């Protein structure tokens, strides 16, 4: 089997009986974490320079708090304003505008310019160490 064949047939599998099985953010950051790992992640988040991003993500998914999409979206936007270096919030906003997620439909208008701005800003502030 060639590597391209493998990539085409590869599928991420996880246990989630909810309706949002294709929600990558939930999958990558919250699904299937055991208690010790959840505690460690919460501790790491509290020291991270992108703490606002994680606060918004917690609000978006109701992780250890009440779910509040409007507040989450506002936090993403506020932490992505001019002079911000919060590349994670910028990346999340790019993803929201690109995929036009149903849960944010009432909060966003289709705007290809904003989508691309958030994409370019997220790459601009991506730490160089991640690119190596």
With contact defined as beta carbons under 8 Å apart, do 61 and 26 qualify?
yes
In angstroms, rounded to a whole number, what is the distance separating the alpha carbons of residues 94 and 117? 8
Whether the predicted pLDDT of 2 surpasses 70: no
What three-state secondary structure class fits 69? Answer: helix
C-alpha 78/C-alpha 27 separation (Å) is 24
Percentage of the chain beyond pLDDT 70 is: 73
H or E segment to which residue 101 belongs: none
**pLDDT given for residue 9 in this prediction:** 46
Say yes or no to pLDDT of 12 above 50: no
pLDDT band for position 15 (50/70/90)? very low
Q: How confident is the model at residue 8 (pLDDT cuts 50, 70, 90)?
A: very low
């Amino acid at each position: 089997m060639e590597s391209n064949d493998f990539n085409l047939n590869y599928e991420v599998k996880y246990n989630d009986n909810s309706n949002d099985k294709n929600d990558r953010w939930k999958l990558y950051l919250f699904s299937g974490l055991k208690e010790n790992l959840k505690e460690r992640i919460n501790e790491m988040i509290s020291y991270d320079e992108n703490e606002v991003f994680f606060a918004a993500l917690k609000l978006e998914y109701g992780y250890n708090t009440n779910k509040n999409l409007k507040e989450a979206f506002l936090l993403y936007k506020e932490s992505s304003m001019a002079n911000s270096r919060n590349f994670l919030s910028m990346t999340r906003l790019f993803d929201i505008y690109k995929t036009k997620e149903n849960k944010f439909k009432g909060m966003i208008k289709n705007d290809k310019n904003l989508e691309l701005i958030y994409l370019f800003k997220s790459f601009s502030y991506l730490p160089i160490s991640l690119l190596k």
